[in-house]
Amino acid sequence: MVHFKAITFKGKRTAAKALATIDEQSSYRWIDDIAVISVGKLGFARVDSSWAQSDTAVGAELGWGALTGAMIGALFGPQGALAGALGGGSIGGVIGASFDIAVSDPRLEEFANRMKKDTSALVLVNDGPYASEFSTAFEPFNGELIETELDVKDVETIRKALRK
């Protein structure tokens, strides 16, 4: 089972501040797999993460960061999954890939709709016990949690497309 968890906040810097606070106070293993999405007052979105900042984060095996990037990208239109994955570092061969991921989950659509001007979010895609720990860690910051389980077939489709 693969979990998609997002916590949305008012304010384009709020998610980054919450993540920085948690990172200083604890040593969670999943902290480097989180994406921080911020939408400024003009409506431009930005995705920051450790896996988007480092070409070596993915390595030979596609990590959760690349999958998270693809899922975020899938929420932003037909070729969005490819754009999101490319933001996750240099993944060999993905530039020539062509695939469409249909986002039909109402919870994912709700997340995309919440990302309006002057908002931010923390996103984690993971199959381990970290999903519940993620939710609990950020409770004190008063964000709105959106969670869903991703279809295993969809996850495999994304992973296969990213390997091309």
The pLDDT, as a whole number, for residue 104 is 64
d(CA 72, CA 123): 8
Q: Place 62 in a pLDDT band, splitting at 50, 70 and 90.
A: low
Model confidence, pTM: 0.74
Give the pLDDT score at 69.
65
pLDDT of residue 44: 84
What is the pLDDT, as a whole number, of residue 14? Answer: 97
Name the most confidently modeled range: 26-40, 82-96, 102-116: 26-40
Count: domains in the chain: 1
Sort 18 into a burial class: Cβ within 10 Å, 0-12 / 13-18 / 19+: buried
Write out the residue range of the structural domain in which residue 94 sits: 2-163
- Beta carbons within 8 Å of 19's beta carbon, 6+ residues apart: 31, 34, 36, 122
CA 114/CA 88 separation, integer angstroms? 23
Position 17 scores a pLDDT of: 96
Decide if pLDDT at 159 tops 60.
Answer: yes
Which three-class secondary structure state does DSSP give residue 82?
helix
State the average pLDDT over residues 128-144. Answer: 87
The edge-to-edge listing of strands for the beta sheet with 144-150 is 45-48, 35-39, 119-126, 2-10, 144-150
| Residue tagged 């902290």 (tokens) | 31
Kindly report the length of the chain: 164
Mean pLDDT of the chain: 73
**Contact assessment for residue 29 and residue 159, using Cβ atoms and an 8 Å cutoff:** no
Q: What confidence score (pLDDT) does residue 76 get?
A: 56
pLDDT in tens, 69-95: 666 666 654 444 334 433 433 333 333
